[in-house]
């Protein structure tokens, strides 16, 4: 098994509510599009059904008080004090199965980690994962549990060095927080600047503390950043850091809320820049655990993660979305038949301003984190 696709139809059984931006139906849509494109069939040995994680698995990162609140909220009813844990109306609603769904997502990421670490798979992809905002003691930013942290901790407990690469539009603050003081995990997050976007963090000056000083790398991007700028920043930072750190396993968060028409960010990525970065991660990672993430236009999610799965398998995805799939999902919102986006590039003064801003960030990182000195920061 060179690659493994971790999936359960039960992912879509849980529902944040009709008015919530995070539509879990996007996971089923992605799986169905991958099937329609001939990249995976239901009987394929690469298709792996996950089992739920245990409570003990969640407790490797989350506090018992928080997990007890999720357990008490599992029926979907309001529990007094839930708001103290970030649960309630708004970003992190309580719904029936709020703990059950969390255990399933965490279990999927743990299964993916096990497959990659054991050598059973070189790449494992859990599209339901990547819930990178959840903190140890509370929910945050649509994320109820932090499956990347739980999976990474399982690998670190086995003595693995892990590099985490996050290309979601939003800063991977929960993952950074969990490993901010350790040199066993290198976290790299490229995202829209926290001056403009939740969670308001992820500035280049956030480089870790104690033994972890120099092991947190943040590349805040200006609003409107396009494929060229996003890929340029990625190329300048990610390959040299990964090659110097020499991780045993790379974990990536492949959120697509950075795309042009996503409603919750202000970036201009397309499938072109996204696939460029996925290809670079694949080239850098001897062992690779890939996770989903943000993405609030469900057609972007399905198209992009289908293309990512094709790249993971070294196969060409079709140019057109299959007609049978479009007929099956006429209300999904696909605006055309093409699987890939047309290139989009910003020109002129605005592009020069953005390039200047990104160059300042890149210069700061290379000046203050000396790769030749084992990631120790400059004095």
> Which of helix, strand or coil describes residue 6?
strand
- How many C-beta neighbours within 10 Å does residue 54 have? 13
pTM here?
0.96
**Mean pLDDT (whole number) for 243-268:** 97
In tens, the pLDDT along 96-139 reads: 999 999 999 999 999 999 999 999 999 999 999 999 999 999 99
Domain of 277?
A: 3-373
Distance of CA 237 to CAs 3, 218, 243, 346, 366, Å?
27, 9, 11, 22, 8
In tens, the pLDDT along 314-360 reads: 999 999 999 999 999 999 999 888 999 999 999 999 999 999 999 99
What pLDDT is recorded for position 370? 73
- Is residue 226 in some structural domain? yes
- Is residue 70 in some structural domain? yes
In tens, the pLDDT along 182-206 reads: 999 999 999 999 999 999 999 999 9
> Which of helix, strand or coil describes residue 335?
coil
CATH code of 214's domain: 3.40.800.20
Spatial contact of 368 and 377, defined as CB atoms under 8 Å apart? yes
Q: How many domains does the chain have?
A: 1
Active site residues: 133
- Is residue 356 in some structural domain? yes
What pLDDT is recorded for position 284? 97
- Is residue 348 in some structural domain? yes
**Mean pLDDT (whole number) for 294-315:** 98
In tens, the pLDDT along 151-168 reads: 999 999 999 999 999 999
Spatial neighbors of 327 by CB under 8 A, at least 6 apart, are none
Spatial contact of 198 and 226, defined as CB atoms under 8 Å apart? no
- Is residue 17 in some structural domain? yes
Element housing 291 (H / E): strand 288-291
What pLDDT is recorded for position 379? 43
Q: How confident is the model at residue 376 (pLDDT cuts 50, 70, 90)?
A: low
- Is residue 378 in some structural domain? no
Render the burial of 277-316: b for 16+ CB within 10 Å, e for the rest. bbebbbebbebbbbbbbbbbbbbbbbbbbbbbbbbbbeee
- Is residue 379 in some structural domain? no
What pLDDT is recorded for position 335? 84
**Residue 144: which of 90, 86, 199, 97 has the closest Cα?**
86
Spatial contact of 362 and 230, defined as CB atoms under 8 Å apart? no
Average pLDDT of the residues of the chain: 95
pLDDT tops 60 at residue 377: no
- Is residue 115 in some structural domain? yes
pLDDT tops 90 at residue 89: no
**Mean pLDDT (whole number) for 232-239:** 98
């Amino acid at each position: 098994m060179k690659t493994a696709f971790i999936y359960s139809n039960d992912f879509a059984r849980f529902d944040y509510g009709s008015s919530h931006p995070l539509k879990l139906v996007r996971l089923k849509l992605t799986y169905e599009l991958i099937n329609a494109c001939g990249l995976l069939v239901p009987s394929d040995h690469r298709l792996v059904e996950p089992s739920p994680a245990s409570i003990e698995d969640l407790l490797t990162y989350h506090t018992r008080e928080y997990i007890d609140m999720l357990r008490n909220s599992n029926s979907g009813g309001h529990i007094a004090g839930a708001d103290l844990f970030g649960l309630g109306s708004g970003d992190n609603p309580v719904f029936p199965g709020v703990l059950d769904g969390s255990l399933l997502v965490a279990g999927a990421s743990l299964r993916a980690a096990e497959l990659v670490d054991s050598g059973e798979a070189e790449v494992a992809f859990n599209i339901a994962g990547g819930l990178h905002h959840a903190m140890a003691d509370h929910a945050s930013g649509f994320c109820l549990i932090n499956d990347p942290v739980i999976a990474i901790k399982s690998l670190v407990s086995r003595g693995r060095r892990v590099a985490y690469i996050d290309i979601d539009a939003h800063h991977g603050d929960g993952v950074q927080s969990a490993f901010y003081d350790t040199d066993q995990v290198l976290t790299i997050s490229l995202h829209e600047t926290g001056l403009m976007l939740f969670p308001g963090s992820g500035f280049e000056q956030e480089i870790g503390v104690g033994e972890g000083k120099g092991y947190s790398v943040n590349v805040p991007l200006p609003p409107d950043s396009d494929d060229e700028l996003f890929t340029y920043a990625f190329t300048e930072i990610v390959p040299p850091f990964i090659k110097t750190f020499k991780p045993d396993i790379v974990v990536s968060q492949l959120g697509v809320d950075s795309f042009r028409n996503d409603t919750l960010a202000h970036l201009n990525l397309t499938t072109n820049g996204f696939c460029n970065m996925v290809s670079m991660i694949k080239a850098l990672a001897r062992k690779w655990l890939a996770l989903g993430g943000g993405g609030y236009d469900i057609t972007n999610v399905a198209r992009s993660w289908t293309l990512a799965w094709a790249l993971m398998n070294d196969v060409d995805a079709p140019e057109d979305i299959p007609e049978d799939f479009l007929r099956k999902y006429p209300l999904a919102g696909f605006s055309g038949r093409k699987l890939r986006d047309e290139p989009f590039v910003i020109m002129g003064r605005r592009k020069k301003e953005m390039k200047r801003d990104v160059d300042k960030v890149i210069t700061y990182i290379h000046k203050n984190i000396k790769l030749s000195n084992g990631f120790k920061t400059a004095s």
